[in-house]
A and B are shown apart, each in its own frame.
Chain A
Amino acid sequence: MEESGSSSIGMKRTNLDLNDELGKLVMPGDEFCIPDDSSKVILGPGLRSVIDKPSGELKTIVGCKAGLLRKAKPNTFFLEMKTRSYQSFKKDDVLGIIKQKSKGEHYSIDVACRELRAQLSKNAFEGATKRYRPDLQVGDCIYGKVMDFPKDYPLELTCVQPSGKACGLGSLNGGHIFHVPVHFVRALRTANPKDNLLQKIGKIVPCETAVGANGLVWIKASNAVLTILVSQLLQTLSKANPEEYGTYLNKFNSTVRTVV
């Protein structure tokens, strides 16, 4: 058929170029050709490679979700989309709430993902030994890292980095914990100072924060009223357009002035 360009939207597209399609919408089934230069390409969520069965050679790259094609610095491509469900991935920092404290060696923890409970060893804290280890209670909030286990293993967390230091991981005292959509976490955790929302909020209200990749956010400001205000602001922002962030922050600024 002679149709091309925007009129062919809706049909499966083939032989797309990864660099040409950056920032554009990819639908499931859209096929990309493999880049000619032999530089390594890393595929993130939403993209997968199709391997030709008999020869074992890489055939095409196929999009399998509806999202915008994005590129991270060293040749990593992935699809960005709105999602509300978190899928655990190794080395992710997550926030969890202790749901059960058994007599054995583990706490069982709710990390708001598809596996109902994650395990956390009672010894996986900085400086913990069999005799001296932190005694956590049911309902306590912890900031942990997903252990680097093979696929389909039960989910396990740790509160200590491989170096033996905690580096911010561990139990969080006081504050307030709440849920935001998973795609909003990106806006909170980005290292780019221009986009980082938490830095902008921190200039208005100084507060301690911990943002888990699973969409849970922990906030602790100097008093309870400010903590609640910040949490309400973040929940509002998670539903707003990125263009509206500025106006919301200005409003928040004037509200905080009246409270303090």
Chain B
Amino acid sequence: MESAASEKHEEGEEEQQQDEDETPYCPFFSNSELFAFMTKERFLREEEIAGVDESSFQFVRPMRAKLSILENPHGSVRFWQGLTCVIAAVYGPSDVRMSKELPHRAAVDVLFRPKVTGSGNMSAMLAAGLMDPLMEERAIEQTVVGILESVIHLEDHVQAGFNVILHEIENDGCLVSACVNATVLALLSAGCSLRNVVCAVTLGVSGDSVVVDPCAKQIQDIQKSMGKDACKSNGLLTFVLTNSHGFVPQILHVSCKGRVLPSELKTCYKLVCSGKIVQEVVRFFYLCISKDLKYSEGNGVEKIEEQVEMEPGEVESSSGDEVDEDGE
């Protein structure tokens, strides 16, 4: 199962500007082929998935999501990014244990559950020369906690807590960015108040080529050549971005695995700050939520105004009529 989208940057930054406008280069499968495979093989089993047609994904691998899959959590989602699949569930704002309560804001707690647990997995990973899986799990949790603390309006819910549970179903590369994206989608569907919409994207850098949202095989290729040539950059960059500031996204979080030289780093920053990748992912969030709320662009305002008209009669307040702020 190969990549979706990738971009080659062969001759410096000036070339790169032109490359962006062309159809993305993909060495293995085209996006449509990957999408066809996904729909055929395993995704047909889901009855109603908020999927967007493959043509809307030019940079990242095609995403699919199903909202409200679980009964109890306030918001839950099953989220695919290519073949990487994550389940996210959000409880919040809810009560937390006394020991975790904070006097000035809500606490955020994230639990990541990997596909395989136990020491068997650990020894296999260590034998393959990879990092301690337990450590990686904690690292993912801490990354998500850090992002959520800056995104949720925590000061509104004093002494409360937000619990997020992430469950890895399938890992085909870019697990961290899939976790962040799934969490944000779950928060949106739970109706939590956020400052901004954020999304995560991983870039694989090998030599002077940059791959957006690499799959497991591409990551393996990058890892094989890691540390071989000191003059070449081989690494993975994970960005978490907001969709704010007009068309220039703000960067919330960057993490790097491996070595990335300044010239390639600059290329990556330029690619990410162009805002096209963010727009693509957040657009997908938008479509998912609008599908969940049964909202389509076509159905006009007239119909909605009809529903909204309420007479101030016996019903004094319902959950929708709460009014907290006055503005002029």
Contact = CB atoms under 8 A, between A and B. Distances in A.
B29 interface: no
Interface in B252-290: 275, 278-286, 289-290
Contacts of A29: 194-197, 242-244
Contacts of A186: 318-320
A252 interface: no
Nearest to A42: B323
A28 B197 contact: yes
B193 A44 contact: no
Interface string B73-109: 1110000000000000000111100000000000000
A20 B92 CA distance: 32
Given A1-B247, A22-B305, A68-B304, A27 B314 contact: no
Contacts of A27: 188, 197, 282, 285-286, 289
Interface residues of B, number: 72
Nearest to B297: A6
B300 to A, nearest CB: 8
A64 B279 contact: no
B319 A46 contact: no
B292 A82 contact: yes
A114 interface: yes
A63 to B, nearest CB: 9
Most buried by B among A14, A45, A215: A45
Contacts of B285: 10, 27, 66
Nearest to A196: B315
B327 A152 contact: no
B193 A65 contact: yes
A118 interface: no
B308 A46 contact: no
A61 interface: yes
B278 A11 contact: yes
Contacts of A89: 317, 322
A163 B99 CA distance: 43
Contacts of B8: none
B151 to A, nearest CB: 8
A85 B92 contact: yes
A24 B301 CA distance: 8
A91 B323 contact: no
A183 interface: yes
B177 interface: no
Contact of B279 (A11, A28, A91): A11
Interface string B152-177: 01000110100000000000000000
A65 B192 contact: yes
A34 interface: yes
A134 interface: no
Given A29-B196, A47-B325, A78-B322, 15 more contacts: A11-B246, A12-B246, A28-B195, A34-B327, A40-B327, A65-B192, A66-B188, A72-B310, A84-B73, A85-B190, A91-B317, A93-B316, A182-B319, A189-B318, A241-B294
Query: 5 tightest A-B contacts by CB?
Result: A10-B283, A23-B304, A10-B279, A28-B194, A10-B282
